Amino acid sequence: MADPPEAGSTVTVLIDADDDAAVTTALLDAHDPTAGCVVVHPTPAVSSTSALARDVLRALGRPIGRLSDERISTAGPAFKAAAAWMIAEGVRDLIVLRAQLLSAASWEQLIELARCAGLRLVLVRHGLDRRWELDRVLGEVEHHVTKDLAEVLPDRPVPPTAAAAAAAAPPVTELPRIPSSDVHRFRADAWRRLPAEDFARVDAVYEQGVQAACRWLSSHPDRSPWSESLPQRGVQLVFPPFLPPNEIHAGLTLLNSKFTGEVLRAIAEGLLCVGREWSTLSGLHRWSDVEGLHRFLTELVADSPSRRHTIARLRGAQAGFLLHGLHLALPANLDSANGPGLNTVPFTEDTAARLRAGVAHPVHAAAIAAAMFTALDPDVLATIPISLLADDAAVLQTRPGGIGQLTGTPTSYFVPAPARPLLLAARAFLYLRGASPSQRLLSTSVGSLAATAAVCGVPLPIRTPRIGPPWHTATVCWWVAAALHAEDGSPP
């Protein structure tokens, strides 16, 4: 007896008694994996389950010529790969034509596939032939028999296609040479050195950074220490500036529980040597949400077409941070640094399509994707456990304590939207094969990165040297002043 189906999993047998060509045509027309419906037309005169698995993968758009090389040529791994892709890509309907010609084992595999992926499975019997072994399989699962074609045809939403979106995007051209100055001089130097037209192009990219920073900071829960009341700030300044705000908050809570406001003020004044010259250092506080900062920075540059675009956006982001009272201290050597947006390759819908068309193994595809948007060394990629991929696959983290990283601080990478289904598929595949969250996500595939990339026709980035951490991990952020923007982003 099969395991109970996952939520949403159903089995329907559609009887096409007259073997009507119009029914087959209508069902084939429903095939649209991007809309969640996959229609499989099994290879005639072949009844093996591995052949059916290949048919399912091919219907999903995956290549089946290298399944042996990818070590998923047998039915079990191949069906799990298909299930993983379906889970990741939101496939809801699986329609199998000529199902009466399949073996009982094939029906069992399809039903198991539907259960694993939460699919609505439609087995189409053309003609009136019945085979007792197929009826036996159906007898073991809850199912529904119908002759109504309309009942099994899925709704067809019409999402905008990736091709249409790509066509709408204007072509990107390289920026002119940009200044190497830090934020306080960058825009001015560009204004002084570049012709007006070139400056306008650079400034448009700079503005993207400003706006992105203001949007992110306006919605971030952390607030400037300067936004707190004066007595509270006075006591807060007692704490060393290098402590993260959550630890300062815990200390404040403790002090508040022990002393009255008057006593606290006296303690603060004594420790701060009130009456002596004010030290700027005592007013600095470290930004605590390091993971969030990593995500913001890597998202900001994820689709950056060039190093110059990345630097211009980052300088703009620095300006946005300053407007909110924060100093975003970027590494000095951005011109030659490594990391997202600098030596990575933009991961687009077209890239994802190439990977889907070039590789069937979900982990192989995910490893290529991760290498492209992180530029991490394969040895580093190989150590990432499954648990460090966010539930929605929007963030991928590396283990804390790597070379050049602060101990205990994981490094977060924003995952470009087109790459997420690939990572989700890899995780689903590993879980379907019994992996635990602590097991490695990409380790089985990093050894074949170059070969897989060549097959898919995608470029791999120049790897970030292990001795030089990615730029965003060397970025620090400090509260340095009262915000010049109001919380809603408007001027003070």
Partner 1 sequence: MTPLYIKASINYTLIRSRAAEMGLADRTFTDLIGVRLRDLEADLDQRAVSLTMLARLSSVLGVTLDQLVTMDGEPPPALPATADSSDADLLLALLLSYGSLGVEQLLDALNWNRQRLAAAATTAEAAIAATPLGLVVTDQRIACVLRPGALPADVRARLDEGVRTREPLQAHEISRALSLVPNEILGRFHDDPQRYPTTSLTELADRGLVFAVTPCADNAEQATARPHPDLMFALRLSDTPHPDNPNGS
Residues of this chain that interact with partner 1 (CB under 8 A) are: 180-189, 191-192, 210, 277, 280-281, 283-284, 319, 322-323, 325, 327, 329-332, 478, 480-482, 484, 492
Q: Residue 117 corresponds to which tokens in the numbers above?
A: 């992926």
Residue 461 burial by Cβ neighbours in a 10 Å radius (0-12, 13-18, 19+): middle
Please give the order of strands across the beta sheet that includes 10-16: 37-40, 93-96, 120-126, 10-16, 144-146
Closer by beta carbon to partner 1, 221 or else 491: 491
Bridge partner list, 88: none
Closer by beta carbon to partner 1, 332 or else 454: 332
Closer by beta carbon to partner 1, 146 or else 180: 180
Report the DSSP pairing between strands 120-126 and 395-398: unpaired
Beta strands, E only, 235-383:
285-286, 326-329
**In whole angstroms, how close is the CB of 478 to partner 1 at the nearest point?**
4
Closer by beta carbon to partner 1, 182 or else 379: 182
Bridge partner list, 396: 389, 413
**In whole angstroms, how close is the CB of 175 to partner 1 at the nearest point?**
18
Bridge partner list, 16: 126
**In whole angstroms, how close is the CB of 484 to partner 1 at the nearest point?**
6
In the DSSP assignment, the letter for residue 450 is H
In the DSSP assignment, the letter for residue 305 is -
Closer by beta carbon to partner 1, 105 or else 329: 329
**In whole angstroms, how close is the CB of 482 to partner 1 at the nearest point?**
8
**In whole angstroms, how close is the CB of 170 to partner 1 at the nearest point?**
24
**In whole angstroms, how close is the CB of 312 to partner 1 at the nearest point?**
12
Closer by beta carbon to partner 1, 5 or else 469: 469
**In whole angstroms, how close is the CB of 237 to partner 1 at the nearest point?**
13
**In whole angstroms, how close is the CB of 335 to partner 1 at the nearest point?**
9
Closer by beta carbon to partner 1, 192 or else 399: 192
Closer by beta carbon to partner 1, 260 or else 280: 280
In the DSSP assignment, the letter for residue 341 is T
Residues 6+ apart with CB under 8 A from 147: 14, 15, 16, 17
CA distances, 69 to each of 59, 361, 445, 451 (Å): 20, 10, 12, 11
Report the DSSP pairing between strands 120-126 and 10-16: parallel
| Residues 61, 162: Cα–Cα separation, whole Å | 15
Q: What is the full DSSP assignment across 269-297? A: HHHTTBTBPPPGGGG-EE---HHHHHHHH
Q: Which of 433, 22, 119, 476 is nearest to 285 (CA)?
A: 476
